[in-house]
Structure 1
């Protein structure tokens, strides 16, 4: 019951914080902040607390598979946002996520292999990521939806509750694959697309992509740290590495 209360309290705060950061410091910074393990990290903790450390460690290759699928989602959404409204763009991008997940799951890659594939896919996607259309005036809706932030909070919280509740039945692999499912990313993309247009959407998704190298490494390190350290120490060490990688990535990209 304590973990349930924690899920209900934590997720609204996380999504609310990311939304406010994006509004204050811009879409790129909001995307980078949004890419950090605010959802995947706690879900991994819940796996460990509720299913055991071994389950959590076995879920990590699946989570990395989900990261590659998330790259496919971000690239697809950024590209299609130039031509389509948010709803068809969202569903086609979800299809890209599922297709990538099914393909990679069929390959049964090792932890090191899927980590390498994840990093290479992020770097390649950033190299060829869609660019905002020059000369296009920014779209500014007259009014932000009244229940914007509460709706974002609700969706993210329900997702975490669903994944952790289904974990035992799904098993570590597919529980892991669904952990990086683009919930926060979708929320950021949809509202940015609707309120500000394609150029702003591309910017925020590129920010998320920049942060994914650190995010991926954070998760990869848990496969080793959790064998040696407690959850708080494992997460703190990997979070520091995540932050350092993000600082470098911002300068590179």
Structure 2
């Protein structure tokens, strides 16, 4: 019951804070902040507490596959958003996301290879990422948009952690970085500010994946040596430093 309470309080609080950060510091910084392990971190934590440390560590390999697909989602959404409204853009991007997962999962890559591949893919994606044609339009907001974002993200976390025992560590890990927060950020940016805002937000998120992926990769080793709070604390600090450096470079 305590874990359930944590799920329905922690996740919506995080989503609300990330949304406010986007409004306060803009789409690029908001994307960077959104790429931090606000959702994947708690999901991994719940795996560890509910399914055991071995399950949680094993799920990290699947998460790397999910991150590769997430990069494909960000690239495709950014490119397609220039030509379509948010719904067809989202659906087509989900198709590309799914195809990426099926292909990478078929390859059965090891953790270190997957991590290296994610880093290389991020760098390639940033090299060829769509460039906004103009500044994002004036911000518009839907009624109750923060509440909508909080509800969607919370339901997703409840679903993934609830089905973990059925899905197993590999597919639980693959679905952990499912672009739920990314979709929410992209859709609302696209709908309310236009394609350019979505591109800026998603590019910021891809930049942040350098730190996000490192956070998860480190857990596969830190969790064998340290307690969960210490492992998460060390990796989160590394994640933050990488994000700060990456934001200055790109």
Same fold (TM > 0.5)? yes
Provide the TM-score with structure 2 as the length reference. 0.98
1:225 aligns with 2:219: no
Point out where structure 1 has 5 or more consecutive residues left out of the alignment: none
| Ranges of 4+ aligned residues in structure 1 off by more than 2 Å | 137-141
- Tell me the secondary structure at the aligned position of residue 223 of structure 2: helix
Corresponding residue of 1:176: 173
Aligned partner (choices 244, 249, 253) of residue 241 of structure 2? 244
Number of aligned residue pairs:
250
Structure 1 Cα separation of the partners of residues 120 and 66 of structure 2: 14
Per-residue displacement from partner, 1:194-221 (whole Å, max 9, x unpaired)? Answer: 0000111100001001100000000000
Aligned Cα RMSD in Å? Answer: 1.0
1:58 is matched with which residue?
Answer: 58
Given the alignment of the two structures, is residue 139 of structure 1 paired with residue 107 of structure 2, yes or no?
no
Query: How far off is 1:140 after superposition?
Result: 3.6
Aligned to 2:8: 8
1:16-35 maps to which residues of 2 (within 5 A)? 16-35=16-35
Inter-partner Cα distance in structure 2 for 1:86 and 1:215: 26
2: CA distance, partners of 1:46 / 1:11: 12
How far residue 27 of structure 1 moved from its aligned partner, in angstroms, is: 0.4
Deviation at 1:145, TM superposition (A): 1.3
Corresponding position of 1:156: 153
C-alpha distance in structure 2 between counterparts of 1:5 and 1:243, whole Å: 27
Is residue 78 of structure 2 the alignment partner of residue 78 of structure 1? yes
Q: How does 1:86-97 map to 2 (within 5 A)?
A: 86-97=86-97
Normalized against structure 1, the TM-score is what?
0.97
